[in-house]
Amino acid sequence: MSEAQAGKGRGCFFYGCLTLVILFVVGAIGLYFGTRYAINRMVAQYTSATSMPVPRVEGTPEEIQGVQDRFRAFADALRSGQPAEALSLSEKDLNLLINNVRDAAQFKDAIHVGIVSNRLKGTLSLPMENLGLGWRSLRGRYFNGVAELKASLQNGVFMVNLDALEVNGKPVPEQIMAGIRSQNLAKDLYKDAQSVELLRKIETIVVDDGRVLVKPAPATKP
């Protein structure tokens, strides 16, 4: 697998999922306010004209190359149907991968992923105009938030559930969260053929004890 292909794979899994989560949240907030007449109110309350500081994870060139090589070897084995060891990623590993995707340079140092027990805690400061919503009022605005998510893959179904969310330092109202928690925010990944092919070759994804463990499905001949 080429560097470009590996980068696209990481981008799909990390940034694809992240974008889906944010778009779902923006949509839910929009429904909460009811009409497009209230969009300006939503923009003022849930976005900011300035970005916020995001924790940075530094790594040596050797560390970055090492985790990229492990990811690439795992992806190559999945693609070719060869046996592979489970991929274990620490919090530092995740952040080094996320912040070194060439195709997502506009998001570099705008995202930090923490692992808290069996959850992912994301700190985000993302330019809204990069999310493709097309709303003129979002130009120059940032989504500054802290989200807690549960992520798992069991029985072929990839689940991402948003459990808690703060935006601009304030919790999102429970009226909105109640409609979000039960939703699988990753469901639209199944509309993408490459994502479906990758998920089909993974047996489980588990977040636990400070690590993300990705276990491949039993190898099959290509």
Mean pLDDT for 4-19 is 46
pLDDT at residue 67 is higher than 60: yes
Whether the CB-CB separation of 17 and 160 falls below 8 Å is answered with yes
pLDDT at 61: 94
User: Is 192 part of any domain?
Assistant: yes
Percent of the chain with pLDDT over 70: 74
| pTM score of the predicted model | 0.77
Total tally of structural domains belonging to the chain? 1
pLDDT at residue 214 is higher than 60: yes
User: Is 221 part of any domain?
Assistant: no
User: Is 28 part of any domain?
Assistant: yes
The pLDDT confidence band at residue 52, using thresholds 50, 70 and 90, is: very high
User: Is 49 part of any domain?
Assistant: yes
Give residue 166's domain range. Answer: 3-216
Whether the CB-CB separation of 166 and 112 falls below 8 Å is answered with no
Q: What angle do helix axes 39-46 and 17-33 make, rounded to 10 degrees? A: 130
User: Is 114 part of any domain?
Assistant: yes
The pLDDT confidence band at residue 17, using thresholds 50, 70 and 90, is: low
User: Is 82 part of any domain?
Assistant: yes
Whether the CB-CB separation of 165 and 25 falls below 8 Å is answered with yes
User: Is 124 part of any domain?
Assistant: yes
Q: Tell me: the pLDDT tens digits for 78-105? A: 888 888 899 999 999 989 988 887 766 6
Mean pLDDT for 34-61 is 78
The pLDDT confidence band at residue 179, using thresholds 50, 70 and 90, is: confident
Burial status of residue 182 (CB atoms within 10 A of its CB: 0-12, 13-18, 19 or more): exposed
User: Is 155 part of any domain?
Assistant: yes
Q: What value does the mean pLDDT of the chain take?
A: 78
The pLDDT confidence band at residue 12, using thresholds 50, 70 and 90, is: very low
